C-alpha cells in the first residue's frame, strides 16, 4: 500500500537525492514540540477503547469530511449520544474514497500498514476485518500509550495545557520513573480571551492557584508569572496563543490597568475584548523575555463558524474556518518593544498562505526574535508544505524556520505526519540539488536540521 518513494519527485536526479536524504531522515528521532495529545494517556497508560474511538471520533479532519458529504454527526457518534462503534467504522470504510488526495488518507494508510500490518486499502468489503484486527491489537501491551511513544522513537512530546491546569498528569508521569519526555505547554487563552467559555471562573481559579489578587492588574500579571514558573518547573519550554487576529498593542501601564478593570468586572464592550488580547500578547512577550519560555502565536481561525452545529454539538466540530490575516501592522507594537531581543523567540503560524512570501518571510528574515512555525492545520499536507518551502525559503532562509509540528490529538498519526513532512523536505531539497541550486553536502546537513536540530534549538528542547 505504501510505496517506498511516495511523495518524492517521480523521476530522475531529484528523486535519487530525495531517496538518499530520506535514508538519513527516517532514522532520526521524532521531536514533537507542539501538539494536543492527552497527558493522561501517558500517566494512566491504559489501552485505547476501540478503533472508532481512536481513528474517527477525536479526529476533526476525518469527521468534517464525512459531515460535508451529508453524513450526520449523530450517525458517527459525535453528537454526545452513543453510536455502535462497528457501525460507525463501516460508514467510515464505505466513504474512505472521499479522502483521496488528502493528507488524512496518507496518514491513515501509514498507520494501517505500519502499525497494523494491513497491505490493502480500507473499503466497504474489508471494513469488519480491519475493525477486528485493530481492536485486537489495541488490547496488546505494545499498543499502550507509553509503548507507542517508545516505538515511535519520540525524543520529546509537548502537550498543550490551560494556564489553570494542575498538570497532575504530567506530575504523575514524572513521578512514575518512566523515561519518556512529555512536557506541558502554557496556553493562557482561557484567561486572556474574555469571550472564552468560563472566562470569569478561569480568572478566579488563576487567583486561587497562585494566591494572587486577580482583581488587580498587577495581581493578574503576577498570577500569570507564577503559573508560567510552575509550568517551567514541570518541563515546559514554550507558551502557545490562539487568537482571532495577530493584533498586538502596547497601551502603557495605566491604560492597560484600566482596560483589565473592565475585563475583570465584565463591563467591557466588544472592542475591548480584542484590545485586551492584543495588549496581553505584548505583556506575555515581556514575560517570555524574562523567563525564557518560547512564545507561539496561532492566529486567524474563525471558531465555530457553523452556528447550528455549535448550538447543537458544541465546539471543535470541524467548523473552524481560516480567514485573511494581517501580520505587518498587527505585530508592530510587540515587535517594536521586543523584536530585537536576541534571547526572545516568537514563533508565528498562519492559516493564510498569502502571508508566507508577503509578510512572514520578510518579517522573519529581519527580526532576531522571530521564527516561522511550519505549515499549519489545513496546510499541513504535501502540497501545503511544499508551498511553504517554496514561498518562505528564498526570503527567510531555512534557519529562520523551526522544523515540523505535528499539532495533533491523534496519537497514532504522529509518526505518519512526521514521515510526510520529512518526505516533502527530502523532495524539496532533492529538487534544489537536481537544479544545481544547493550542493549535496548542504542538503545532507539541512535534512538533519529540518528534521530535528531546528526544532530542538527553537523550542530549547
Q: By CB under 8 A, what part of segment 12-51 binds a copy of itself?
A: 12-14
Least distance in angstroms from the C-beta of 322 to a copy of itself = 5
Type and span of the H or E element at 347: strand 346-348
Told to check if 384 binds a copy of itself by CB under 8 A, we report yes
- Out of 78, 183, 297, 434, the residue judged to bind a copy of itself by CB under 8 A: 434
Told to check if 68 binds a copy of itself by CB under 8 A, we report yes
Q: Which is nearer to a copy of itself, 180 or 368 (CB)?
A: 368
Q: What's phi and psi for 165, nearest 5 deg?
A: -70, 140
Confirm if 354 and 327 have CB atoms less than 8 A apart.
no
- Out of 172, 200, 225, 366, the residue judged to bind a copy of itself by CB under 8 A: 366
- Out of 56, 91, 93, 106, the residue judged to bind a copy of itself by CB under 8 A: 106
- Out of 7, 83, 93, 182, the residue judged to bind a copy of itself by CB under 8 A: 7
Told to check if 100 binds a copy of itself by CB under 8 A, we report yes
- Out of 351, 402, 452, 455, the residue judged to bind a copy of itself by CB under 8 A: 351
Q: Which is nearer to a copy of itself, 260 or 338 (CB)?
A: 338
Least distance in angstroms from the C-beta of 334 to a copy of itself = 11
Size of the site for a copy of itself (CB under 8 A): 91
Told to check if 77 binds a copy of itself by CB under 8 A, we report no
Q: How far apart are CA 110 and CA 15, in angstroms?
A: 20
Q: Which is nearer to a copy of itself, 137 or 332 (CB)?
A: 332
| Stretch of residues binding a copy of itself (CB under 8 A), selected from 47-55, 145-153, 197-205, 432-440 | 432-440
User: Exposed, middle or buried, 376 (CB in 10 Å: 0-12/13-18/19+)?
Assistant: buried
Q: How far apart are CA 123 and CA 96, in angstroms?
A: 7
Q: What is the 3-state secondary structure (H, E, C) of 53-108?
A: HHHCCCCHHHHHHHHHCCCCCHHHCCCCCCCCHHHHHHHHHHCHHHHCCCHHHHHH
Q: Which is nearer to a copy of itself, 63 or 186 (CB)?
A: 63
Question: Cell numbers of 77, please?
Answer: 457518534
Question: Cell numbers of 389, please?
Answer: 518551502
Query: What is the separation, in whole angstroms, between the first and last Cα of the chain?
Result: 35
- Out of 21, 234, 275, 432, the residue judged to bind a copy of itself by CB under 8 A: 432
- Out of 49, 80, 101, 198, the residue judged to bind a copy of itself by CB under 8 A: 101
Q: Which is nearer to a copy of itself, 40 or 306 (CB)?
A: 306
Q: Which residues of 130-142 are buried (b: 16+ CB within 10 A; e: fewer)?
A: bbebbbebbeeee
- Out of 281, 364, 410, 426, the residue judged to bind a copy of itself by CB under 8 A: 364
Q: Which residues of 314-336 are buried (b: 16+ CB within 10 A; e: fewer)?
A: eeebbbbebeebbbeebbbbbbe
User: Exposed, middle or buried, 292 (CB in 10 Å: 0-12/13-18/19+)?
Assistant: middle
According to CB under 8 A, which residues from 255 to 294 bind a copy of itself? Answer: none
| Sequence-ordered alpha helix ranges (H) in 306-412 | 307-313, 332-338, 355, 361-364, 382-396
Question: Cell numbers of 38, please?
Answer: 492527552
Largest CA distance in the chain: 67
Query: Measured in whole angstroms, how far is the alpha carbon of residue 454 from the centre of its chain?
Result: 16
| Stretch of residues binding a copy of itself (CB under 8 A), selected from 82-90, 122-130, 177-185, 389-397 | 389-397
Confirm if 78 and 313 have CB atoms less than 8 A apart.
yes
Confirm if 229 and 291 have CB atoms less than 8 A apart.
yes
Q: Which is nearer to a copy of itself, 189 or 353 (CB)?
A: 353
According to CB under 8 A, which residues from 293 to 332 bind a copy of itself? Answer: 302, 305-309, 318-319, 321-324, 326, 328-329, 332
What are the E-state strand segments in 74-217?
A: 154-158, 161-162, 182-183, 186-187
Told to check if 79 binds a copy of itself by CB under 8 A, we report no
Q: Which is nearer to a copy of itself, 122 or 157 (CB)?
A: 122
Q: Sketch the per residue contact string, 117 through 136, with a copy of itself: x for CB under 8 A, - otherwise.
A: ----x---------------
Kindly give the pairing relationship between strand 30-32 and strand 161-162.
Answer: unpaired
- Out of 189, 212, 353, 406, the residue judged to bind a copy of itself by CB under 8 A: 353
Told to check if 352 binds a copy of itself by CB under 8 A, we report yes
| Stretch of residues binding a copy of itself (CB under 8 A), selected from 9-17, 133-141, 210-218, 235-243 | 9-17
Least distance in angstroms from the C-beta of 181 to a copy of itself = 27
Q: Which is nearer to a copy of itself, 160 or 391 (CB)?
A: 391
Q: How far apart are CA 400 and CA 412, in angstroms?
A: 29
Told to check if 166 binds a copy of itself by CB under 8 A, we report no
Least distance in angstroms from the C-beta of 62 to a copy of itself = 11
Amino acid at each position: 500500500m505504501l510505496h517506498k518513494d511516495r511523495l518524492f519527485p517521480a523521476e530522475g536526479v531529484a528523486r535519487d537525492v530525495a531517496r538518499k536524504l530520506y535514508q538519513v531522515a527516517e532514522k532520526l528521532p521524532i521531536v514533537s514540540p507542539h501538539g494536543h495529545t492527552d497527558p493522561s494517556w501517558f500517566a494512566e497508560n491504559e489501552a485505547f477503547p476501540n478503533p472508532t474511538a481512536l481513528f474517527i471520533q477525536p479526529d476533526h479532519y476525518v469527521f468534517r469530511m464525512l459531515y460535508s458529504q451529508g453524513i450526520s454527526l449523530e450517525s458517527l457518534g459525535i453528537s454526545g449520544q452513543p453510536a455502535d462503534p462497528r457501525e460507525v467504522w463501516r460508514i467510515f470504510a464505505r466513504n474512505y474514497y472521499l479522502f483521496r488526495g488528502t493528507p488524512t488518507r496518507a496518514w491513515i494508510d501509514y498507520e494501517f500498514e505500519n502499525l497494523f500490518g494491513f497491505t490493502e486499502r480500507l473499503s466497504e468489503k474489508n471494513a469488519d476485518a480491519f475493525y477486528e484486527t485493530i481492536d485486537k491489537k489495541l488490547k496488546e501491551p505494545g499498543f499502550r500509550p507509553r509503548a507507542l511513544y517508545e516505538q515511535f522513537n519520540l525524543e520529546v512530546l509537548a502537550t498543550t495545557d490551560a494556564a489553570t491546569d494542575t498538570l497532575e498528569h504530567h506530575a504523575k508521569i514524572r513521578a512514575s520513573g518512566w523515561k519518556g519526555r512529555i512536557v506541558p505547554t502554557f496556553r493562557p487563552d482561557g484567561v486572556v480571551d474574555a469571550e472564552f467559555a468560563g472566562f470569569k471562573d478561569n480568572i478566579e481559579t488563576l487567583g486561587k492557584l497562585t494566591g494572587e489578587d486577580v482583581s488587580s492588574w498587577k495581581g493578574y500579571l503576577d498570577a500569570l508569572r507564577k503559573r508560567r514558573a510552575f509550568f517551567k518547573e514541570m518541563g515546559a519550554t514554550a507558551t502557545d496563543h490562539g487568537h482571532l487576529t495577530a493584533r498586538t498593542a502596547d497601551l502603557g501601564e495605566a491604560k492597560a490597568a484600566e482596560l483589565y478593570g473592565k475585563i475583570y468586572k465584565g463591563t467591557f464592550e466588544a472592542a475591548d475584548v480584542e484590545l485586551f488580547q492584543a495588549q496581553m500578547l505584548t505583556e506575555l512577550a515581556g514575560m517570555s523575555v524574562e523567563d525564557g519560555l518560547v512564545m507561539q502565536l496561532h492566529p486567524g481561525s474563525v471558531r465555530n463558524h457553523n452556528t447550528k452545529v455549535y448550538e447543537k454539538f458544541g465546539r471543535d466540530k470541524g467548523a473552524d474556518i481560516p480567514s485573511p490575516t494581517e501580520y505587518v501592522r498587527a505585530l508592530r507594537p510587540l515587535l517594536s518593544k521586543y523584536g530585537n531581543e536576541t534571547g526572545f523567540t516568537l514563533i508565528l503560524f498562519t492559516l493564510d498562505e498569502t502571508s508566507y512570501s508577503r509578510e512572514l518571510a520578510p518579517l522573519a528574515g529581519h527580526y532576531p526574535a522571530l521564527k516561522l512555525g511550519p505549515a499549519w492545520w489545513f496546510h499541513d499536507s504535501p502540497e501545503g508544505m511544499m508551498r511553504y518551502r517554496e514561498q518562505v525559503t528564498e526570503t527567510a532562509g531555512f534557519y529562520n524556520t523551526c522544523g515540523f509540528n505535528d499539532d495533533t490529538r491523534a496519537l497514532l498519526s504522529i509518526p505518519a505526519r512526521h514521515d510526510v513532512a520529512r518526505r516533502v523536505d527530502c523532495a524539496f531539497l532533492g529538487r534544489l540539488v537536481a537544479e544545481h541550486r544547493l550542493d549535496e553536502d548542504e542538503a545532507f546537513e539541512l535534512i538533519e536540521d529540518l528534521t530535528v536540530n531546528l526544532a530542538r534549538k527553537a523550542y530549547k528542547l
